[in-house]
Amino acid sequence: MIRPSHATPDPAASDPVRRPGAEPGADARAPATGGILERLADQRIRLQIVAAALAHPLDPGEVASHVIQAACGVLDAPQGWLGVVSEDGTALEIIESIGYPRELVRRWLHIPLELRVPATDAVRLRQSFFHTSAAERQAEYPVLATLGGGNPDPEGSAVAPLVFQGRSIGVLALSFHEPRVLDADERWFLESLAAQASQGLERARLFAEVQERDERLRFALEASGTGTWDWDLRTDRLTWSPEVYRLHGLAQGTAAPGIDAWLEMVDFEDRAMVLTAIESCLDDGGTYDTEFRIHRPDGELRWLHSVGRPAPGAEGRATRLLGTTRDITDRRLAEEERDRVLAAEREAARLRDAFTGVVSHELRTPITTIFGGTRVLARRWRDMEPETRDGILADVVEEADRLYRLVEDLLVITRVERATLDIGDEPVHLGHVTQRVIASEQPRWPGVTFTVVVPPGLPSVAGEDTYVEQILRNLLGNAAKYGGVGSTVSVVAEADRTDVFLRVLDQGPGIDDGDAERLFDLFYRSPSTAASVTGAGIGLFVCRQLVTAMGGQIRAERRPEGGSEFVVSLPRYADDDAADDAP
């Protein structure tokens, strides 16, 4: 795992985003050929390059090498290293370095965390440390003056912690021969690289665990037994060992099937591939090596790996095909699970980035209005006209309500991600909830008409009153927003023997083809309306999660006469007696 490199980096070779015409060793910070904007663009391009490189399966040393080369190349640092916290949590272990003398790297290969130096402080405090000169650094850390071992202490230095999910896992450090002050943009770049290194090292750990698991599985499968088989090409007769019978789910002692009968056991989608592999083996005398699925007589699907070679007869032509077969079902399932986990990790990272962007924007607007409005009221309350004061208060109330709704939706998303969404099983009468929600929504949409059709004796649904109200509030707000001023939003309730249905109909632009399912994806906004109607792409996702948690379904349809219809179905409450108190 530990593989320090001692070559001094060539800035021109290691920095693909160096400004055109810049000489090797030139100050990358100088704005002579592009200024601050070009430097910022260079930094972001390099971050993108590193992110693309770290997306591939790498070991920790390769991750560290990409990150250090980027840091040294962009910031013109002659020396750099990356270390990780040891498994026992007592030391930093350097896994990659550039530009340091070999003996110095060996001396500092393991840095006890109890030693107070910038790197260990970065781990403990999860914050970066920047020092302009050796004198400044030694003044803060006197122990460094006694640890040089005859090697000159570098001047400028920078150390950024590697933090993953709130836990320090290592540091990224740079040294400069001359005094050096890193400006805010350079510090941001270094800390962004450290964040990428944290994620890259975690991915490397995951890959290593998966590879180790695959090796253990492979060894277990090989040790569990491999069957042998012999196919006589002249008589089309297959001879199997007992293990091959077991692999195919057939009783030992019965005649092995002919090749055609055996091919019927091979999964239809794999059959042509198996035949091609056999024909290729017999034509060129090479190895038959293939993995395929079979269906056992009891219907079980298994993955098998077969390897064979042709055996030539007296005339030199192949007369038999000899080989082995083993069960690789566990390995294949492990690979599928690995791919699922990695895909889930990539999707989670994408959603985290999208979540941060959307939430920061959606939260900023109401908070800004509330903050600004209350400050104005606090300073000028007595001097304001009543109409002006009431208008500001109305804005604050409206944005506070908007903020409350957003936070409620975000809480649902968080509980869904953590699998802590707890749904009650109480009787909820949709008629009562609908009237209550419409009464609260009407003031928000004074230009929209709401109509309700709830038949007498409507059964209750099984669920939780708060979440049913949140679903209906999101749907009504969505319908009013897209329908606009002068439109009508209709709510129709009905029931059959097992479910209660709630239909919300609007007079908006309607749903585009292909959007009916995607509308319920997190952060999805229809391209046809995203530019004209504001939104975060959260509400409908929350609706589906809540409806599904309560055992129901939700769908969206385009109305033939125009507009959209959202249909929610929830199971009837088992011991329903709501018909007696229906409105």
Over residues 452-500, the pLDDT tens digits come to 998 988 999 988 888 888 888 889 988 888 888 889 999 999 999 899 9
Question: Distance between CA atoms of 301 and 434, rounded to whole angstroms?
Answer: 50
Q: Last residue of some domain: 362, 386, 417?
A: 417
Task: Express each pLDDT in 393-407 by its tens digit.
Answer: 877 877 777 677 677
- Are 313 and 459 members of one domain? no
Comparing CA positions, the residue from 469, 431, 472 lying closest to residue 452 is 431
Question: Distance between CA atoms of 2 and 217, rounded to whole angstroms?
Answer: 27
- Are 342 and 319 members of one domain? no
- Are 305 and 379 members of one domain? no
Find the CATH number of the domain harbouring 438.
3.30.565.10
Report in angstroms the alpha-carbon separations of 78 from 102, 360, 402: 15, 38, 52
Which carries the bigger pLDDT value, residue 221 or residue 532?
532
- Are 178 and 66 members of one domain? yes
- Are 357 and 390 members of one domain? yes
Number of domains in the chain: 4
Q: Residue 3: inside a domain, yes or no? A: no
Mean pLDDT across the chain: 81
Q: Residue 550: inside a domain, yes or no? A: yes
If pLDDT is split at 50, 70 and 90, which confidence band does 9 have?
A: very low
**Is the pLDDT score of 273 beyond 90?**
yes
Average pLDDT rounded to a whole number, residues 234-249: 87
Task: Express each pLDDT in 417-450 by its tens digit.
Answer: 677 777 777 888 888 888 888 888 888 888 899 9
Q: Percent of the chain scored above 70 by pLDDT? A: 83
Which carries the bigger pLDDT value, residue 266 or residue 13?
266
Phi, psi at 372, each rounded to 5°: -65, -45
Find the CATH number of the domain harbouring 367.
1.10.287.130
Which carries the bigger pLDDT value, residue 182 or residue 15?
182
Average pLDDT rounded to a whole number, residues 303-325: 86
The model's pTM: 0.39
Q: Residue 216: inside a domain, yes or no? A: no
Find the CATH number of the domain harbouring 249.
3.30.450.20
Furthest CA-CA distance within the chain: 113
Q: Last residue of some domain: 266, 301, 327?
A: 327
pLDDT of residue 4: 40
Task: Express each pLDDT in 191-218 by its tens digit.
Answer: 999 998 999 998 888 888 888 886 775 5
Find the CATH number of the domain harbouring 200.
3.30.450.40
Q: Residue 107: inside a domain, yes or no? A: yes
Which carries the bigger pLDDT value, residue 377 or residue 90?
90
Q: Residue 2: inside a domain, yes or no? A: no
Q: Residue 398: inside a domain, yes or no? A: yes
**Is the pLDDT score of 16 beyond 70?**
no
- Are 562 and 453 members of one domain? yes
Question: Distance between CA atoms of 345 and 165, rounded to whole angstroms?
Answer: 13
- Are 117 and 230 members of one domain? no
- Are 149 and 280 members of one domain? no
- Are 150 and 235 members of one domain? no
Q: Residue 521: inside a domain, yes or no? A: yes
Domain that holds residue 83: 11-211
Q: Residue 217: inside a domain, yes or no? A: no
- Are 98 and 185 members of one domain? yes
- Are 551 and 506 members of one domain? yes
Question: Distance between CA atoms of 509 and 527, rounded to whole angstroms?
Answer: 12
DSSP SS3 for 559: coil
154-181 b/e with 16+ CB inside 10 Å = b?
Answer: bbbbbbbbbbeeeebbbbbbbbbeeebe
Q: Last residue of some domain: 373, 394, 417?
A: 417
- Are 113 and 44 members of one domain? yes
